[in-house]
């Protein structure tokens, strides 16, 4: 019998330190009005002492608690991150040690699309019978990759983590997934270092990323709906990667989705890369907006470029 990968728990965690647009005005040639109008972001959280694993542990424990399972019941852990605490071992193994899980655990790097890539990978394991319970985490400390003197990127990124527990289910769960990469755009969004032992910061051609993001995400949403024999009206919620309100609005307009059906957290979180979708999902599950049976579209794009989307029955 076909198995589905069903979400049975969500969790998230944000470091306590808040950095507002007004805080950034003190060190950068920028202002709150510009940042809000061009991005939709008002504040973001930034780590002080915490690492990517620390954030992941809190989010994972919250998700496991909602799922009602112990970490030792997990068959697999996939941690999507661009900001691992060390080159090795994988931050996923540091996480499993902290939460007390004994199972395969690995990191997956697809930048802002990392969570969708990780969910798609977990879905394959579950549908093929290779795992029954999988923890999928997006955890990032992007502030470590940002040049705090570069106003074009310092205003955008924040730190945080989100986690999902997937369980093999006979009836429903992830209905469709698609991931894509196109390496021709490498230089539009990358870190500046050429070697792992050199310090590097994010370099971004914002305008180019913006246009490609709107184009690719709109096309992906349309294709996904067609392949699922659904229309925009069948969607209960869109939970997009939280990069820029103008990207999200443009995609919603292209697929004729009312903004009331879009979960937005970027005003308070900024762009948390691989963490942004599970963070937004957890917020909307816990405040009661997302309910059992809802049809969700999750989409993200980032460096590479890599992008992907999921259609999920919650
Ligand atoms: O997760 C995926 C990765 N990233 C993204 O999805 C980001 C995609 N791109 C974007 O979100 C937008 O391109 C940005 C928010 C980064 C920039 O917005 P924009 O509307 O594309 O602005 P722009 O780069 O065209 O700059 C417009 C003006 C420029 O001044 P001039 O040349 O018109 O005088 C910039 O120098 O705004 C200036 N500017 C700023 N002004 C105040 C750029 N950054 C700032 C700033 N504060 N922080």
pLDDT band at residue 180 using 50, 70 and 90 as cut-offs: very high
Mean pLDDT of 221-250: 98
- Run of H or E including 73: none
pLDDT band at residue 1 using 50, 70 and 90 as cut-offs: confident
Query: Which token pair is 164?
Result: 């999902």
pLDDT band at residue 164 using 50, 70 and 90 as cut-offs: very high
Query: Which token pair is 173?
Result: 């769960």
pTM more than 0.75: yes
pLDDT band at residue 258 using 50, 70 and 90 as cut-offs: very high
Helix, strand, or coil (residue 11): strand
Helix, strand, or coil (residue 142): helix
244 lines ligand 1 (CB under 6 A): yes
Ligand 1 atom 12, closest CA: 206
Q: Please list the active-site residues.
A: 112, 241, 271
**Residue in 244, 275, 279 to alter for ligand 1 test, most ligand atoms within 8 A of Cβ:** 244
Ligand 1 atom 36, closest CA: 152
Q: Choose between 193 and 269: higher pLDDT.
A: 269
Mean pLDDT of 269-286: 98
Task: Give the max Cα distance, the chain.
Answer: 60
The answer, yes or no, to whether residue 194 has pLDDT greater than 90, is no
Mean pLDDT of 222-234: 97
Handedness of CA 7, 129, 99, 146 (dihedral sign): negative
């Amino acid at each position: 019998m076909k198995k589905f990968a069903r979400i049975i728990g969500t969790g998230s965690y944000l470091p306590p330190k808040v950095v507002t647009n007004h805080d950034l005005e003190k060190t950068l040639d920028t202002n709150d009005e510009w940042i809000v109008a061009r991005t939709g972001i008002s504040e973001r959280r930034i780590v002080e002492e915490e690492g990517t694993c620390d954030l992941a542990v809190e989010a994972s424990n919250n998700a496991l608690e909602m799922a009602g399972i112990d970490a030792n019941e997990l068959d697999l852990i996939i941690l999507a991150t661009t900001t691992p605490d060390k080159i090795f071992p994988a931050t996923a193994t540091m996480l499993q040690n902290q939460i007390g899980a004994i199972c395969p655990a690995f990191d997956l790097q697809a930048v802002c699309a990392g969570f969708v890539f990780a969910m798609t990978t977990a879905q394959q394991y579950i549908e093929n019978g290779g795992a029954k319970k999988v923890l999928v985490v997006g955890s990032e400390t992007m502030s470590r990759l940002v040049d705090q003197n570069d106003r074009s990127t310092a205003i955008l990124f924040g730190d945080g983590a989100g986690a999902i527990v997937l369980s093999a289910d006979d009836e429903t769960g992830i209905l469709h997934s698609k991931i894509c990469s196109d390496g021709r755009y490498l230089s539009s969004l990358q870190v500046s270092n050429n070697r792992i032992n050199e310090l590097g910061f994010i370099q971004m051609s914002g305008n180019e990323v913006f246009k490609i993001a709107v184009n690719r995400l709109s096309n992906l949403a349309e294709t996904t709906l067609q392949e699922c024999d659904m229309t925009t009206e069948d969607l209960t919620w869109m939970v997009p990667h939280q990069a820029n309100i103008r990207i999200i609005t443009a995609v919603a307009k292209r697929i004729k989705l009312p903004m009331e059906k879009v979960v937005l957290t970027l005003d308070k979180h900024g762009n948390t890369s691989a963490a942004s979708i599970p963070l937004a999902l957890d917020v909307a599950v816990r405040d009661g907006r997302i309910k059992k049976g809802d049809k969700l579209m999750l989409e993200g794009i980032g460096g590479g470029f890599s992008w992907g989307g999921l259609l999920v029955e919650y």
